[in-house]
Amino acid sequence: MIELLSYPFMQRALLAGTLIGIACAVIGTYVVLKGLSFIGAGIAHASFGGVALGFLLNVNPVLTAVVFCLGTAWGIGLVARKGHVKEDTAVGVFFASTMAFGILVIGLMHGYNVDLFGYLFGSIVAVSRSDVWMILGLSAAVLFLVWVFFKELLFVTFDAEMAAVTGVPAGRIYFLLISLMAITVVLSIKVVGIVLVSALLVTPAAAAYQMTENFRRMMALAVLIGVCSSVGGLLLSWKLDTAPGATIVLVSTLIFFLAASVSPRRRGLRHGD
Amino acid sequence: MNEKGPIIELEHVKVAYQDLLVLDDVSLTVPAGSFLAIIGPNGAGKTTLLQVILGLVRPASGRVRIFGKVPAELDGERRRIGYVPQILSVDVNFPVSVREVVLMGRYGRMGLFRRPTRGDYRAAKEAMERVGVVDLADRPIRRLSGGERQRVFLARALANEPDLLLLDEPTTGVDTASSEGLYELLRVLHASGITMLVVSHDVGVVASYVEGVVCINRRLVAHGRPAEVLGSDALSKMYGCDAMFFHHGRVPHLVVERDQ
């Protein structure tokens, strides 16, 4: 195990995994409480179109994925807030069309692309030095924005209407939140993979939700669970030679079921209703 | 707050969601210091009326002035409006404590990039004291009864030190004893100078506390003192059935006879 840590690629993967675990858990706390997990899945699948386009145009796929995911997030947000279409319908439309676009683009490329496979299911060896810097920069930006708008994000997640009534710019905070989701998805896809990134957004926070009735404690627990899942999953995937994204997600799912089975929420019945 | 003019002015307000007409030609003036109940059947547009006043819904036509301004242009005045939404509109399992919820009432006035100051904590504590939930400050909201939770949302509105308080069905999911306690509390708050507007369907209870009743069923059906409005045939017009209103002891009762 110690010798494993001396490999530079493993150090990079573990550092990246830790950062991803933190960012996904923090944003996931809002996703779970506001019921945005389907939007998360939609944004994650949109990144497929972005990554594929990046390969076709021979530019950094992360860059095109950021553009694609932000565009999709805002598109879903705009359509849903206008109220012409339900939120989950909007997600369904964007979900499929961005995926379809990605598949179309892959068809235009010649031959099979190993790198693309890494983006789909995650890869430890694929995390380069520049990827680590990118992940570090983006996750720092996400965490900084959460810190700056902490009270507004909490209020809008809890009660958006009341937030708007009391003069909090609720609409803009909502767009900030889905933008943060989009960025978090993109910074995670190298390690976890497009297919499974939305699970990492939801599962650690969902496990933490089972264990506490305090918002800050929920976020802190989610971070702990997220980091344990990422690091544990990466080490396991190396040992078992399995896909890192799948292993990370399954570790977090195991923690979720453990948390749910000892949840005080199940024991403590509400009085009054 | 000594206000010379009316706090709320609505003139010929019409609201439609696509083809559905929700409010039609509603005109209403609420002077400062009023204590009014808005009653009407389900789907009568009561909540929409509050949302118009709050600036959350913009009318298709008509004129709205709150503190003499168009709702969208309220800024400093916004904090003068307290709102207690329907209890069902929030997730009661959300992991927040009573204190955190009450403090949220001040987030808007604090502004972006600011943390709560000692003054904000003091205002939240005073609001909790006024409604009698200060002992519950550290309790998660999911561990409250319906009546306690309603008081917490009232405290959140009060934390902002409003001059106008709008309440949407404050007694939904609250037992009879707690709901009378809540109305007693509203009476005390009104006596301290807050203008009150309460949306309710429990006509009987509300009538013994308020000074005026506004009946709406898309249109304004009646507006006047409780005895006048509830004694007239306005109720039967509104519910589309025979309704009778009589006083029995201290609490007036409403009897509705539906057409068979």
Q: Across chain A, what does the average pLDDT equal?
A: 89
Cβ of A215 within 8 Å of Cβ of B78? The answer is no
Structure tokens at A19: 């950062």
Confidence at residue A112, expressed as pLDDT on a 0 to 100 scale: 61
Best CA proximity match to A192, nearest among A16, A71, A72: A16
Q: How far apart are CA B47 and CA B198, in angstroms?
A: 10
The distance of B78 to chain A (nearest Cα, Å) reads: 6
CA distances from B50 to A20, A182, B59, B223 (A): 44, 35, 12, 16
Cβ of B95 within 8 Å of Cβ of A33? The answer is yes
Question: b/e map of A231-263 (b: 16 or more CB within 10 Å)?
Answer: bbbbbebbeeeebbbbbbbbbbbebbeebeeee
**8 Å CB contact between A36 and A180:** no
Distance between first and last Cα of chain B: 50
> What's the topology of domain A2-260?
ABC transporter involved in vitamin B12 uptake, BtuC (1.10.3470)
List pLDDT tens digits, range A15-73: 999 999 999 999 999 999 999 999 999 999 999 999 999 988 888 888 899 999 999 99
Q: How far apart are CA B150 and CA B89, in angstroms?
A: 12
Say whether pLDDT at A150 is over 50.
yes
Structure tokens at B173: 């999911």
Backbone angles phi, psi at A4, to 5 degrees: -60, -40
List pLDDT tens digits, range A76-102: 888 887 767 888 888 988 888 998 999
Q: Is B76 on the interface with A (CB under 8 A)?
A: no
Give the residue from A82, A161, A162, A263 with the most B CB atoms within 10 Å of its CB, the best one to mutate. Answer: A162
Confidence at residue B239, expressed as pLDDT on a 0 to 100 scale: 62
Q: How far apart are CA A13 and CA B113, in angstroms?
A: 34
Best CA proximity match to A169, nearest among B113, B89, B153, B47: B113
SS3 content of chain A, % helix, strand, coil (to 5): 85, 0, 15
CA distances from B196 to A107, A269, B200, B223 (A): 65, 35, 12, 15
Domains detected in chain B: 6-257 (3.40.50.300)
Amino acid at A16: A
Cβ of B107 within 8 Å of Cβ of A148? The answer is no
Confidence at residue B171, expressed as pLDDT on a 0 to 100 scale: 86
Backbone angles phi, psi at B135, to 5 degrees: -70, -20
Interacting residues of A71 by C-beta distance below 8 A, sequence separation 6+: A46
DSSP-derived letter for residue B26 is: E
CA of B88: which chain A residue's CA is closest?
Answer: A159
Cβ of A166 within 8 Å of Cβ of B109? The answer is yes
* The model's pTM: 0.90
Confidence at residue A214, expressed as pLDDT on a 0 to 100 scale: 95
Chain B residues close to A163, C-beta within 8 Å: 104, 107-108
pLDDT band at A219 (very low <50, low <70, confident <90, very high): very high
Low-confidence residues in chain B, pLDDT < 70:
1-4, 231-260
CA distances from A240 to A17, A210, A236, A270, B158 (A): 17, 30, 6, 44, 59
Domain boundaries, chain A: 2-260
List pLDDT tens digits, range B156-192: 999 999 999 999 999 887 888 888 889 999 999 999 9
Cβ of B95 within 8 Å of Cβ of A209? The answer is yes
Task: Determine which helix (DSSP H) or strand (DSSP E) holds B136, and give its type and residue range.
Answer: none
